[in-house]
Amino acid sequence: MVGCEGLWGVLMKSSGTTELNTFYPIKAECQADVPATRFKPRAGKTLSQRRWQASFSQDGHLDIAKVLRRIQRGGVHPSIKGEVWEFLLGCYDPNSTLEERNELKQRRRGQYDMWKAECQKMVPVIGSGKFITTPLIDDEGQPIDPSMVGVQTSDKKVVQWMQLLHQIGLDVHRTDRALEFYETEANQAKLFDVLAVYAWLDNDIGYVQGMNDICSPLIILVENEADCYWCFDRAMRRMRENFRCSASSMGVQSQLATLSQIMKTVDPKLHHHLEDLDGGEYLFAFRMLMVLFRREFSFADTLYLWELMWAMEYNPYIFTKYEDPDHAKTKGPLPPTNDKHLKQYGKFERKNVKTGHTEENSALSVFLVASVLEIKNRRILNEAKGVDDVVKILGDITSNLDAKKALNEALKIQKKYLSKAKKG
């Protein structure tokens, strides 16, 4: 007779990639073309459903330090990723009760339904279970699609938003095509609706290609569409500036400049070699930072990478920062007073707090790119005769990079960088 914990161990050991394929099945005709998956749930390391449930007190307070420790060791089991991510992304406060979270959830769902209804009133396809891939209106704001005849499109914000919708639809059609999940139009429409509502509400940036790659895993992991929207909103709070476009620049260039500074500090020889190759602006890392390594990992490994990163970057004040930004700005987080409090921070953020490092563009993803460059240091120095060679060498990491090892290397680079920056 095998006890519950023993049975869990047997399942964890025996399933591995086979089990992951039951959660994120890949279309038969695509299986040869997608990157191989390295992540496997491991008993004693991966956050299991039992461990997750045991981390809550009777009234629903979450022991976030215990959860972060487990995630940083072995990720999150697929069966609970959605609900765990809601905390990692700052949708909920670990110090809240179950009742408080349920009240907040219902309020947010009502808010999303109102926004969606507002969008649907202007464009009826939203919320219909379908989506569009052709323009609704022309550059002058005149209707092209028959469904738009008679609809008022004189408002500049409405026109700009409507002109984005077919691009969102085209990107939705191309998103994660290898996954069986997106074989149904209803699931594609769910992704379209969330992106369309987000674009309507974000007057400044709206929608930019690549947001679909960030939103797609959330659509799959979080069943309720409104809950998924709020997860995406929180994810974009971290990444939004990367998508800011102007005629001459992209927001991600700020992170590329930080990457350049990091490499110049921790590995001047490699940095100068890249400069000699006209790669000193690090534009070859553009895609990695824009969509958080979606192209370099299999779908399951991307999820593992993201949860490790978000756990390492976790700040216990993230909920307040997003929910009440004005209050967070004026009051500011209290400095950690003891080791117990510090354990509520992820490894990466803990180091920043201890050293007083607050640079906005120094996200863990930037140090992760630096760690990939360090892993490929020798090949780049010996083989790269131009930027195209650098791109090719970095392309070889697809399916060959261990997410946890690369992130641990990123933490070492962070430590080295902060130490040298302090001395400098």
Q: What is the pLDDT of residues 75-101, one digit of tens each?
A: 999 999 999 999 999 999 999 999 999
Helices (H) and strands (E) in the chain, counts: 22, 0
Burial class (CB in 10 A: 0-12, 13-18, 19+), 403: buried
Give pLDDT, residue 330: 54
Non-local (6+) Cβ contacts of 78 within 8 A are: 19, 20, 23, 24, 41, 300, 303
Give me the DSSP letters along 313-331: T--TTHHHHHHSHHHHHHH
CA angle 345, 350, 352 (to 5 degrees): 135
Which of these ranges, 243-247, 331-335, 371-375, has the smallest mean pLDDT? 331-335
Residue 5 has pLDDT above 50, yes or no: no
Helix (H, G, I), strand (E, B) or coil at 137: strand
Distance CA 383, CA 424 (A): 32
Give me the domains of the chain, ranges plus CATH numbers: 96-241 (1.10.8.270), 243-420 (1.10.472.80)
Helix (H, G, I), strand (E, B) or coil at 245: strand
Give pLDDT, residue 13: 43
Q: Which amino acid is at 23?
A: F
Q: Which amino acid is at 185?
A: E
Residues 143-188 have pLDDT tens digits of: 888 777 667 677 889 999 999 999 999 999 999 999 999 999 999 9
Give pLDDT, residue 332: 56
pTM of the model: 0.91
Query: In which band, very low, low, confident or very high, does the pLDDT at 58 lie, cut at 50, 70 and 90?
Result: very high
Distances (CA, A) of 147 to 96, 153, 189: 45, 13, 18
Residue 119 has pLDDT above 80, yes or no: yes
Give pLDDT, residue 32: 86
Distance CA 68, CA 312 (A): 8
Distance CA 48, CA 26 (A): 24
Query: In which band, very low, low, confident or very high, does the pLDDT at 8 lie, cut at 50, 70 and 90?
Result: very low
Distance CA 5, CA 10 (A): 9
Query: In which band, very low, low, confident or very high, does the pLDDT at 104 lie, cut at 50, 70 and 90?
Result: very high
Distance CA 173, CA 132 (A): 9
Distance CA 164, CA 161 (A): 5
- Look at 305 and 338; give whichever has higher pLDDT: 305
Residue 400 has pLDDT above 70, yes or no: yes
Range 354-362 average pLDDT: 78
Query: In which band, very low, low, confident or very high, does the pLDDT at 328 lie, cut at 50, 70 and 90?
Result: low
Give pLDDT, residue 248: 67
Residues 222-234 have pLDDT tens digits of: 999 999 999 999 9
